[in-house]
Structure 1
Amino acid sequence: MLDVSWEPHASAVANAADADLAAALDAVADAVGVVSAGGGRVLVARDTRPHSERLSALALDGVSHLGGAGEDFGLLTTPQLHHIVRHANGGAAGGAHVGPAAWASEGGYAEMLCTAFAALLPPDLGGGGLRAPLTVDCACGVGGPQLAPIAQRLAPLLPLELINRPGEGELNAGCGAEFVQKGRLPPRGLDTPPPTTSADSGGGGGGGGSRLCSLDGDADRVVFHYWRLCAGAVPEWRLLDGDKIAALFAAFVCDELRALEIEPALSVACVQTAYANGASGAHLRSLGVPTPLARTGVKHVHHAALRYDVSVYFEANGHGTLLFSDSAVSAIAAARQRAEASGDAGKAASAARLLAAKQLVNQAIGDAISAILLVEAILLLRGWSIERWDAMYEDLPSRQAKLGVADRAALRVNEDETRTLEPAELQREIDDLAAAHSRGRAFVRPSGTEDVVRVYAEAATQQAADELARKVGQATWRLAGGVGEQP
């Protein structure tokens, strides 16, 4: 992932006029001490949008013009390209346990995922034919063609049904993770309850397409959902967002590490942002998992997660991953060797599952395909249905809003964006408003790109969350220079 310090350079190049581009590139080279681009290697891939092929060709032309070596990987998901770059750079950039150089390809990516998924499952678990297929909404994006060969290879273990593939509609229109998570609506093709009344089972049985998930257009985000079907009741559509995925991953890691009894214990955390549902954080802490907060944005959350031996992070939108440090991998591998030498099959199996999970989950960036496979593996291992997973905790009702302000710089917040520093009287008012509601919590933060302030509120009931968001919005409008109509 690009270091945050490079953002100003990238912005300067992206915003430069054509006539000023060469000078902008020279300025970046001077700033970072690059004498020549000769010898540099740039890997390029593209998605399914009509303009992507031309844009990719232009990027490769630019690399060649500057004396670098460009390599065209064709159609890939964003996480696949990150994976290939990480493995192409090898241990110098990716760490001692980065994986073999042969994985630095589209085929190597599939090999890494498929062998890891199979290794996670015990041989006596049974075939996938008894399990209802997982239906995957591909957002009419690149995730469809990239998941298809993996689905074919894993079919005996995990039947996957792919819908909303490229050519079946407009990218992200009425489908995909963003549409589902932000709109709290099922995607097209899955917007009616299945015809059966049987619920999916983690260990087998069930049907009717009741286990569903949605990728976003470039397949770095995923959310799960299902129709809750009860005899005599109206079917209820349920969403399991990034917070629920994080809770599942964290519970899996903690259970396996607890069984291993590594000394000294590895540090484990689930890094969240202020937008994480309060019920999610409370559940994780009840498991003994710390929940440090980072600023909104994957670039902040990812770097905060690197401070721990094993860390999970997911934003509510479904972007996240499970990270293992080199020292954690070494400690787990050593624990496996000790367990095998002493004949402790249980500890050896726990270590093997953790090492397989590390291989399965993209260590470079959030990856919807690898996240889908780890979710399914954990559900199979535990014999859980999607409803059982959903029952880990119940989300608190929440409401988000935004309002215009004359100058977003007039509102300053603390490092994790949970408290307003200026104007100081605004935070006092937010505290009083939140305290008036059962399980009330609220915060405001300025947009990074436009003169608006974003409001988040949650409470024990939806009515209370709506009221809290409205009153916090009114206070912000009044005290932070609101413009336009008052909320």
Structure 2
Amino acid sequence: MADSIAAAAQKHPAPEGLIYQYGTAGFRTKAEVLDSVMTRCGLIAALRSRALKGKWIGVMITASHNPPEDNGVKLVEPLGNMLQEEWEVLSTEMANKATPEDVSKFYHEIAARFKIDLDAPARVVVARDTRASGARLLACVLDGLKGAGAEHKDYGFLTTPQLHYMVRCLNTEGTKDSYGTPTEDGYYEKFAAAFKTALKGKKPSGSLTVDCANGVGGPKLTELIKHLPPKEEALEIFVVNDNVIKPEALNVDCGADYVKTNQRAPPSSKVGPNDRCCSLDGDADRVVFYFKDANNMFHLLDGDRIATLVASFLGDLVRQSGLSDSIKIGVVQTAYANGAATNYVEQHLKLKVDCTPTGVKYLHHAAEKLDIGVYFEANGHGTAIFSVDTLETIAKHEPKSTAQKEALEVLRACIDLINQAVGDALSDFMLVEVVLAHKSWGPQEWLSTYNDLPNRLLKVIVNDRKIFQTTDAERRLVKPDGIQTKIDQEVQKVRQGRSFARASGTEDAVRVYAEAATKAEADDLARKVAEIVKSFGSA
């Protein structure tokens, strides 16, 4: 076995002088320097599968909202969740081994450390987004899997959430927890049927225009639409920015990240006033909504808005089903959530809010501890998770009236409509449409639930981001000494002020967030906190 591992690594030698890091999004960088990483991820995936007695592990080749010349890879655990942290560390170490011999040695060290039987079966599922580099990088992964003697299933092009779905389905097939049929058609049929049931004959007002970032979500949404009820009965969907024939168009002037960052619709947008629109990102695991009002003013309905909408609806359903004594709902946010959203959830919806560090894995982990945990990052990545006990309670519940019975049917359909494995833009936008249909709301009513506090996000380039250390879910700095006191002094000078600074996870920079009662105060506060960071960061 040792020789076949070294031989696989030998085929794709690591570039000299580059350090790789498995982060929140797995490995992600310029596609031309990823060959060695891909092969080694194949080896790690095989080991992880063997460590879990041959369960299927997922490998997704994608760089999501990054530019077309980038690519990346992330590994997926058996229930469709993110790779365990301990294995993120092992992946990083493996990616940075200098020689094929070092790779083989480390492979065997991991096997010894975790008592992994290297003759046990290893099963790995692979898929990729539409980037031009995907085919080459897939071949590198397959070389790693072959070297490790792993069985693999290649699903070709999938959205990231579809790959997570396949992994969960393959591992639960034939059990009482069966998640669905592990095929693309199985995915469309499950979510389309749940959408139809959850709508309960109600029709969303108007149409929805979906910007697919010229990524894999375009062709997949077109397939999904074929399984949905006809537009006369349910929802008319217009698919735009779905050009996957030109990989260089991916995420360019379109997509969720463009809309969120620039606070404007894609330049290609041709919709009228109050028309609902949403944008996916390049691998379709994020979605944000937006519209232009009668005065041509742009309004963003981001992850915070989706979380409050979904939490409010699920809360209604739980209450109307007669389950509010046994099921508690909570919302999980990061420090980037707008203060007005937090306030709305706590004061108006009367639901608990937990705050975690930035990064989906932290939100997901916190949500798993709740009966029903709703989490969305402001960038539109999120989902709702139902605990095992909660699912059982809902399944066993006997309704006492027709109204309870109807609410319970919609609640059960929503459970099927929400991708429990991971944030899924296709499933999330359908869930939003279900809620709007039940509430008879258009985008204006949704927007008017609360007013966002004006906020500003700045990036400060520093010499060494590692000196900036945080506590309290990244809301306060503990290092460098004295910096937090100075930030607090500035915050106290403005109405409804809040600000925090945290080191970027991807570059030598510190991100500064500020919000206040007016735009001028928020801008001014952000500028002053950025100056404080700069003075400490260049010292």
Give 2:356's aligned amino acid.
A
Aligned AA for 2:255? G
Partner of 1:236: 297
Aligned to 1:88: 170
Quote the residue 2:361 is aligned against: 299
Q: Who is 2:122 aligned against?
A: 40
User: Is 1:225 the counterpart of 2:290 in the alignment?
Assistant: yes
- 2:9 paired with 1:9: no
The CA RMSD over aligned residues, in Å, is: 1.9
* DSSP-derived class of the 1:401 partner: strand
Report how far residue 193 of structure 1 moved. Answer: 5.4
Instruction: Quote the Cα distance in structure 2 between the aligned partners of 1:451 and 1:463.
Output: 28
Structure 1 residue identity aligned to 2:407 = S
The separation in 1 between residues aligned to 2:268 and 2:324, in whole angstroms, is 50
Q: Which amino acid aligns with 1:26?
A: H
Residue 538 (structure 2) pairs with residue 482 (structure 1): yes
CA contact (8 A) 1:4 1:299 kept: no
Q: Does 1:319 align with 2:381?
A: yes
Aligned match of 2:18: none
CA–CA distance in 2 between the matches of 1:112 and 1:418? 40
1:170 aligns with 2:249: yes
Cα distance in 2 between the residues matched to 1:351 and 1:376: 18
**Cα distance, 1:96–1:470 mapped onto 2, change above 3 Å:** farther
Q: Which letter does structure 1 place at the counterpart of 2:288?
A: V
Looking at structure 1, the residues matched to 179 and 113 of structure 2 have their Cα atoms a distance apart, in angstroms, of: 33
Report how far residue 82 of structure 1 moved: 0.3
For residues 443 and 324 of structure 2, the distance between their equivalents in structure 1, rounded to whole angstroms, comes to 34
* TM superposition shift of 1:251: 0.4
Alpha-carbon contact 1:223-1:317 (below 8 Å) kept: yes
Q: Secondary structure at the match of 2:334?
A: coil
DSSP 3-state at the match of 2:210: strand
Q: Pick one of 99, 105, 118 that aligns with 2:183.
A: 105
| 308 and 167 in structure 1: CA distance in 2 versus 1, 3 angstrom threshold | same
- Cα distance in 2, alignment partners of residues 114 and 472 from structure 1: 48
Counterpart selection for 1:392 from 424, 445, 449: 449
The structure 2 residue matched to 1:280, chosen from 341, 346, 352, is: 341
Moved more, 5-14 or 303-312: 5-14
8 Å CA contact retained: 1:411, 1:445:
yes
- Cα distance in structure 1, aligned partners of 2:319 and 2:510: 43
8 Å CA contact retained: 1:267, 1:309: yes
- Structure 1 spans left out of the alignment, 5+ residues: 200-209
The separation in 2 between residues aligned to 1:255 and 1:366, in whole angstroms, is: 22
Distance 1:32 1:158 in 2: 51
**CA separation in 1, counterparts of 2:329 and 2:187?**
27
Once the two structures are aligned, what percentage of the paired residues are identical?
40
Deviates more, 1:395-404 or 1:34-43: 34-43
Write the distance in 2 (CA, Å) between the matches of 1:247 and 1:394: 13
Indicate yes or no: 2:486 matched with 1:433. no
| Inter-partner Cα distance in structure 2 for 1:120 and 1:263 | 20
TM-superposed CA distance for 1:237, in Å, is: 1.2
Q: Aligned in 2, Cα 1:37/1:457: closer, same or farther, shift over 3 Å?
A: farther
- Whether the 8 Å CA contact 1:138–1:163 is kept in 2: the answer is yes
Whether the 8 Å CA contact 1:37–1:68 is kept in 2: the answer is no
SS of 1:293's equivalent in the other structure is: strand
User: What's 1:144 paired with?
Assistant: 218
Q: 1:465 deviation in Å?
A: 0.6
Distance 2:227 2:351 in 1: 35
Q: Which residue of 2 aligns with 1:27?
A: 109
- Find out whether 1:357 has 2:406 as its counterpart: no
- CA distance in 1: counterparts of 2:254 and 2:325, whole angstroms: 46
Give the drift of 1:302. 0.7
Equivalents in 2 of 1:80, 1:41: separation in Å?
A: 18
Other-structure match for 2:144: 62
Matched, 1:158 2:235: yes
3-state DSSP of counterpart to 1:70: strand
Distance 2:484 2:127 in 1: 46
Q: Which amino acid aligns with 2:148?
A: L
Match of 1:116 among 184, 187, 194: 194
Alignment pair present for 1:268 and 2:333: no
Are the structure 2 counterparts of residues 345 and 398 from structure 1 closer, same or farther at C-alpha, using a change threshold of 3 Å? same
Are the equivalent residues in 1 in contact too, given 2:329–2:351 (CA < 8 A)? yes
In the alignment, what sits opposite 1:202?
none
Structure 1 residues 350 and 18: CA distance shift in structure 2, 3 A: farther
* TM-score under structure 2 length normalisation: 0.80
Q: Deviations over 1:382-401 (max 9, x none)?
A: 11101111111111111111
What is the letter of the counterpart of residue 225 of structure 2?
A
Retained in 1: the 8 A contact 2:332–2:353?
yes
Q: CA deviation at 1:2?
A: 1.1
Which of 252, 259, 262 matches 1:183?
262
Counterpart amino acid of 2:537?
G
Unaligned runs of 5+ in 2: 1-81
The total of aligned residue pairs comes to 451
> How far is 1:24 from its partner?
3.4
Partner of 1:380: 437
Going from structure 1 to structure 2, the CA distance change for 1:303 and 1:57 (only over 3 Å counts) comes to same
CA displacement 1:223-269 (0-9 Å, x = unmatched): 0111111xxxx311111111100011000011111223326432311
Q: Secondary structure at the match of 2:393?
A: helix
1:403 and 1:482 in contact (8 A); partners too? no
Q: Give 1:351 shift.
A: 1.5
- Partner residue of 2:61? none
The residue identity in structure 1 corresponding to 2:193 is T
